[in-house]
Structure 1
């Protein structure tokens, strides 16, 4: 089993790589700066490129059974319009070309779901984020809409604020306003859940929220 990973060079990416390798998966990791993956250079395939480079994206996805995208806006003051959505659009297009079906995409509560109820903490957090980072918020929502409308076997994983921490296995999974979902999630728990979805079928074409469970 091989996973193509996008957004793997940050702190969350390190957890995803370590989790996937521990499960025995092969990995191709997309990176603009391969130096950020030096610790894994002999254990993963590193594909160098940026999200405007279709050929590099295709090289990363070729031979993969699933794609995990931990891509998200990396600057609150980003002025470029929907860079993540455009990158994910290319990823989906390449997946269609290569007949790769499984896509797991990280998202946030800014992406609402019909199964959600009213949840004041998440609504307030989304509103505040939209006020201070309108372009980033718009990119997150547009990316989620793109994934939902695709023909892939997608899962949108909606997450709250991340903190450094190992996987505990104690997470809440469900829908905002209907499940008790806190406002924090460890990177280790996120990585475990994302890698679990490569073979799990519980959340196909669904957008569960997850959070640490006390």
Structure 2
């Protein structure tokens, strides 16, 4: 099976690539700078382009069985309004055109799943995030809504604060206000869960929250 990966050169991307390769998946990784993936030279397919390049995105997704997007706002002063939403919108359009059904997208508690209850801790964090970095909050929320309104077999993986670290220990998975979810998650554990979703159907068209088990 083959995964098309977007956001593969970010802090979590390396963990995703290594996890997918451990399981024997083929990888097509999209990047603006091929040099950032030189460590994996000859081990993955690299497609170079930006999020406005539909043809390059199409080349990355072609032949894939699933798409994983680890894309998220990386600047408080983006030149364009909702750049991640716009890029993911093109990815969705391309995956639909190529009849690739599975899309796994990183998100946060800024998006609420219908199965959520009220959770003071996560909503306080969301409110603070919204006040401090409104543009990034808006982009994350709009991206999640775009994904959830698509016709794909999507999963939004809602994450808390990320920390560097391998996939060790257990994670908790569930719904804010109904499941006890901590406020930290290792990048290795996130990568493992994302790659799990390629074949796992438990969370299709749902947005589980995940966190390191405490």
TM-score scaled by length of structure 1: 0.98
1:149 counterpart residue number: 149
Give me the whole-angstrom Cα distance separating, in 1, the residues matched to 2:41 and 2:88: 25
**Preserved CA contact (<8 Å) 1:76 1:132:** no
Pairing of 1:112-131 with structure 2 (within 5 A) = 112-131=112-131
Pairing of 1:102-181 with structure 2 (within 5 A) = 102-181=102-181
Alpha-carbon deviations, 1:16-50, whole Å to 9, x = none? 00000000000000000111111011100000000
2:208 counterpart residue number: 208
List gaps (5 residues or longer) in structure 2. none
Shift of 1:207: 0.3
Displacement over 6 Å in runs of 4+: none
Instruction: Name the Cα RMSD after superposition.
Output: 0.8
Give me the whole-angstrom Cα distance separating, in 1, the residues matched to 2:98 and 2:175: 33
SS of the aligned residue for 2:12 comes to helix
Pairing of 1:49-68 with structure 2 (within 5 A) = 49-68=49-68
Shift of 1:109: 0.5
Alpha-carbon deviations, 1:108-151, whole Å to 9, x = none? 01011111111111111111111111111011011011001100
**Preserved CA contact (<8 Å) 1:129 1:137:** yes
List gaps (5 residues or longer) in structure 1. none
Shift of 1:169: 4.5
**Across the two proteins, how many residue pairs are aligned to each other?**
214
